[in-house]
Amino acid sequence: MSSKRLETVKLTARFKLDGDVDSSLFETYKAIVNELLDYAHSKGITSFKRLRSEKYYELRQRYPNLPSHFIYTACQMACSIYKSFRKLKRKGKAKSDKPKFKRDMIMLDDHLFKLDLDGWNVRLATTIERIKLKLLHGEYHEKFRDRKVCQAWLVKKDDSVYLNVVFSKSIEIRDCKDVVGVDVNENNVTIATNRGFITIETKEKVIRMAYFLKRRKIQSKIRCRRVKSKLLAKYRGRERNRVLDIYHKVANEIAKVALETNSAIALEDLTGIRDKINHSKELNGRLHRWSFRKFQQILEYKAKLNGIEVVYVNPVKTSSLCPICGSKLSPNGRRLLKCRCGLVADRDVIGSWNVMLRGLKSLKIDVGSSVPPESPSMNPETGRLSATNGSKDMKVAESRNGSSQMHLWRNNSVWSSRPSIGVFQPT
């Protein structure tokens, strides 16, 4: 009845190379990219085809020892760098008058490298000969064995050379019967499922604040500029890794719930929101946040890898309209919102609930979600779902009245009992 649907999932893996790549290769490549950038900039060329046809043969003659595909990928690099430079320039954010490529980075296509994940090595084309280098690998890299290699970058950093490889995998997307609605907030991620609502605490705001204070202290206490910038970079990296680690754990939990409930995952479409003048108030504070989109990307990737469908829905007014009757909600205390139909619920619950409903609508899933006329007023009690550190199990702990917190609120396709909130702490 249903046809197979395949999606391609891409992921970049990073390998440290055991051995060195002659730095003259990086220097030559950088010079070529910069020459191409100057040329593209002076003539306003954004088309790869045009850049290649006007510069490729000339560069080949001037660099006879360099395998020709380096010049080919340099054209691709120059083109994309020039395009993003123009974009920044248009927005007034360009740091200089002309684009410049400063990194020790080489783009490789399939003529320039050959990966062998059984022997854990890579063959690389260089100016003189093909060299074979060992890939330093760990458990993390095992999963890439069955994937297709797309493209790679050779990157020189400090004293080591890394190979960043983009892998792709074709995944069959499963048919779904329901939707998990995801609402991302500053301190938590709340999900609406056919088993109830779950609030997963991320404590991101707390973490970011702690690092902000730490950085401010460094700014004021340390005089030496070099030491200062080194320390600042160190803590920025730590903050980022801590937040990303939480995102991965939360995304795993949500994917697990979606698998168990045979659901698709619905997320708010936050792209383009920045450009709309009439954005809703609740989205204003989020605009500059890299995090929301980053979390969504991680979740989308993990979902697709598990064959879970992902759908993006319109985010407008997801936290201000009643999910039952559609009326405008009014505040009722600090966290709660109420409706004239009698609904009283936490604002994050409302958000995820509306996202779920929009997801169901967009996927045309009919769960027979008729609302009983006497919909009980919701008084979300706070329960606790906690995960032991490092364990992947989400354990349902006892609540105050001793019953499990995962109440069914939409049982047998009918809205049944009131939703409750679980709190899950990933750390």
Residues lying near Zn ion in the complex (CB under 5 A) are found at: 322, 324-325, 327, 339, 341, 343
Least Å distance, CB 320 to Zn ion, is: 12
Instruction: Kindly give the interhelix angle for 48-62 and 23-43, rounded to the nearest 10 degrees.
Output: 130
Least Å distance, CB 339 to Zn ion, is: 3
Cβ-based nearer residue to Zn ion, 270 or 341 = 341
Please state, in angstroms and as integers, the Cα–Cα distance from residue 26 to each residue in 23, 81, 126, 128, 134, following that order: 5, 17, 10, 14, 19
Torsion 345-348-352-355 (CA) sign: positive
Cβ-based nearer residue to Zn ion, 32 or 343 = 343
Report the alpha-carbon distance of residue 375 to residue 123 in Å, rounded.
66
Cβ-based nearer residue to Zn ion, 310 or 343 = 343
Cβ-based nearer residue to Zn ion, 46 or 330 = 330
Under DSSP, the state recorded for 370 is B
Least Å distance, CB 356 to Zn ion, is: 16
The secondary element (H helix, E strand) that includes residue 196 is strand 196-201
Q: Which residues pair with 328 in a beta bridge?
A: 321
Least Å distance, CB 327 to Zn ion, is: 5
Tokens standing for residue 260: 């168990």
Give the HSE-up count for residue 4: Cα atoms under 13 Å, Cβ half-sphere.
4
Closest residue by Cα to residue 201 from 404, 422, 388: 422
The secondary element (H helix, E strand) that includes residue 361 is helix 347-362
Buried b (16+ CB within 10 A) or exposed e, 341-351: eebbbbbbbbb
Least Å distance, CB 343 to Zn ion, is: 5
Cβ-based nearer residue to Zn ion, 184 or 337 = 337
| Cα angle: 288, vertex 290, 293; to 5 degrees | 115
Cβ-based nearer residue to Zn ion, 77 or 339 = 339
The residue written with tokens 């309209």 in the block is 321
The secondary element (H helix, E strand) that includes residue 234 is helix 225-260
Least Å distance, CB 195 to Zn ion, is: 22
Least Å distance, CB 266 to Zn ion, is: 20
Least Å distance, CB 341 to Zn ion, is: 3
Cβ-based nearer residue to Zn ion, 237 or 372 = 372
Residue pair 155/103 in contact by the 8 Å Cβ criterion: yes
Least Å distance, CB 151 to Zn ion, is: 51
Cβ-based nearer residue to Zn ion, 246 or 324 = 324
Instruction: Kindly give the interhelix angle for 68-90 and 48-62, rounded to the nearest 10 degrees.
Output: 140
Report the alpha-carbon distance of residue 277 to residue 410 in Å, rounded.
37
How many other CB atoms sit within 10 Å of the CB of residue 300? 17
Cβ-based nearer residue to Zn ion, 285 or 333 = 333
